Amino acid sequence: MANRILSIITLFGLFAASSLAAQEELPKNLNAEKIKGMSFIPYSSFSGSPYLSEKFLIGEIEFLDGTKAGNLGLRYSSYRDEIIYYNTYLSSQIVIDKISIKGFSFTDGNGVRRVFRRQNYTGYLNGERFFEVLSDGKISLLAYRKVDLGTCDPSYSKLGLAYQQSYTYYMYAAGKGYSPLSLNRNSLLSKFDKPNQKLAKKVLRKNKVMFTDEASFVLAWNVLKENGISISF
């Protein structure tokens, strides 16, 4: 009898421990339960990468009502323009329903916070897209991180196909839409009228801004914005 009682007590103890462990594994942000989506189907393997980052990175998503769910494992597919969420409780990958969220953000491997916003693109191949916000404001600087699957030299990929970056950049203003940009000095200066072009050149020289890559282009954009030089848009 004593052994039976001891067994029952031990069983209850195990149930209690299991219940406590399960509670500790519950998401800290209960808004994660609002995530809508479907199971992710892996892409075909080719050279290059269809993702902005190979690993899932800690980030958050913002729902249409403004609420947010944070501390999520996220990975952005530049190939399909979709955000993938790793559900640790189901050990599965979920493609989040794009139309159900305003956007998302995550911290990359360099500790930089990256912010993406869902917007309706009205140009060629119009529709809902995720744009990375490189600089926000009345006129924003946006990047569309597209990756295409295209042909390549067979010496690079045995199948003759590879995932290839095809990033595009825009300045955007509500009510005015999108204006494409190339990441060079002339493209940026062309967005200013003649008097402001001279002023922009002077400010860029003073701040020793060189156009070498995306980061330096964003720096130039922000320097001109901080100096209040108006863009013609």
Give pLDDT tens digits for 163-187: 999 999 999 999 999 999 999 999 9
d(CA 190, CA 49): 34
**pTM of the shown model:** 0.84
Structure token digits, residue 53: 């980052």
CA angle 176, 180, 184 (to 5 degrees): 135
> Which tens digits make up the pLDDT trace of 123-172?
878 999 999 999 999 999 999 999 999 998 887 777 889 999 999 999 99
pLDDT at 5 over 70: no
> Which tens digits make up the pLDDT trace of 53-94?
999 999 999 999 999 999 999 999 999 999 999 998 888 999
d(CA 134, CA 81): 17
Map tokens 């249409």 to a residue.
64
d(CA 229, CA 107): 31
> Which tens digits make up the pLDDT trace of 33-45?
789 999 999 999 9
Per-residue three-class SS string for the chain:
CHHHHHHHHHHHHHHHHHHHHHHHHCCCCHHHHHCCEEECCCCCCCECCCECCCCCEEEEEEECCCCEEEEEEEEEECCCCEEEEEECCCCEEEEECHHHEEEEEEECCCCCEEEEEEEEECCCCCEEEEEEEEECCCCEEEEECCEEEEECCCCCCCCCEEEEECCEEEEEECCCEEEEECCCHHHHHCCCCHHHHHHHHHHHHHCCCCCCCHHHHHHHHHHHHHCCCCCCC
**What percentage of the chain carries pLDDT values higher than 70?**
87
pLDDT at 3 over 80: no
**What percentage of the chain carries pLDDT values higher than 90?**
75
pLDDT at 29 over 70: no
pLDDT band at 14 (very low <50, low <70, confident <90, very high): very low
